[in-house]
Amino acid sequence: MYCIGQRSSEVKIEADSSDASEHPHDDKPKPYGCTVSDKQFRRKGDWKRQKQIHTGDKLHSCTQCEKRFVNEYYLNRHMNVHSSKYKCAACGKCFRSNRDLTVHKRIHSAAKPFECNICGKRFAQSANLARHSRIHSGEKPYKCLECSKEFSESGDLTKHMRVHTGDKPYKCSHCDKSFSQSTNCQSHIRRVHKRRRYECRYCGKRFKRSHHLMRHVFCHNTGAKPYSCRHCSDCFAHPGSLKAHLLKSHNEGTWFTCYICQKKFSQSSSLKVHLRRHEGVKPYVCSDCPKQCCTANATKRHYLTHSLDTVYNSD
């Protein structure tokens, strides 16, 4: 049995003997402490690299994929991906280290040796269990030194630091615009450079594919609902609506249940969005201010408030 952390809300982990090799020196002293995340390190070099992570400076770029890193150590590890030094024989995916490859192989074997002793959910990596345990404990160990805002994930802190530094590392491949978050850059590309080209002449709704528009227009013209339920007389215009009906009304299909509050959803995507609220994950950031949201639609609604402010202020 292993334990993660030294806090009051410790989470016990069940692991097989093969995983003990991942952390063979856990009993050695760690004199170097990070003041932001409370992490401890045995080597001064590791401690310095951790400090660079929190500052958000990425001065070393890969010549093959343009990814950027805080120092040469992480860049050199990343280059192993391009050299195929650590390549999975089952799927061909390449990794930066042998340890990452070892952990990846558990996907093919379905091995999940780390179990949460609160809800029973299992994980392939101890780090994922440690991250998951914060859902139950509410712990936020990563603190911004500029505004004292706290985060449960180091990655969230790194993204937040760009609010203070003004760093915008994600550049649009179609124009000169840059963004502080990758999600904002992707949203910009979809919204500006890859618009939905096919527009319905009746209601203005737009589609990415012509056959989706044709199906939509057909329902306009005929009022047809070609997807009928085999259990009752209800009919639907779209197959997704029929699938949701079969599950809710006739219990045919699979419910996706939240393991925290037991709420059920007819679609896995809806459950993923719901879990973000429990975990406090807000991956969508407004491009005009630091506001973070759980969903893309919530971000769009918030973004409209900036447009309305502009209209009112101009008056």
What string of pLDDT tens digits covers the 315 residues of the chain? 333 333 333 333 333 434 444 444 556 677 777 766 667 777 777 777 776 666 656 667 888 876 777 778 888 888 888 888 888 887 888 888 888 888 888 777 777 888 888 888 888 888 888 888 888 888 888 888 888 888 888 778 888 888 788 888 888 887 778 888 887 888 777 776 666 667 777 777 777 777 778 877 877 777 777 778 888 888 887 777 888 888 888 887 778 888 888 888 877 778 888 888 887 778 777 777 778 888 877 877 887 777 655 544 555
Question: In this structure, are 151 and 42 located in the same domain?
Answer: yes
Question: In this structure, are 54 and 10 located in the same domain?
Answer: yes
Question: In this structure, are 198 and 282 located in the same domain?
Answer: no
Question: In this structure, are 59 and 136 located in the same domain?
Answer: yes
| Distance from chain centroid for Cα 281 | 8
Helices 44-55 and 72-83 pack at an angle, to 10 degrees, of: 90
* pTM exceeds 0.85: no
Range of the domain at 78: 2-173
- Run of H or E including 33: strand 32-33
Question: In this structure, are 164 and 294 located in the same domain?
Answer: no
The C-alpha atoms of residue 123 and residue 257 are separated, in whole angstroms, by 18
Q: How far is CA 174 from CA 66, 88, 142, 166, 181, in A?
A: 16, 34, 35, 22, 17
Q: What is the CATH number of the domain that holds 274?
A: 3.30.160.60
Provide φ and ψ at 88, rounded to 5°.
-75, 125
Question: In this structure, are 198 and 285 located in the same domain?
Answer: no
What would the two tokens of residue 92 be?
Answer: 């061909």
Question: In this structure, are 158 and 289 located in the same domain?
Answer: no
What domain count does the chain have?
4
Q: How far is CA 34 from CA 3, 44, 54, 143, 144, in A?
A: 20, 11, 10, 11, 12
Question: In this structure, are 270 and 285 located in the same domain?
Answer: yes
Question: In this structure, are 131 and 220 located in the same domain?
Answer: no
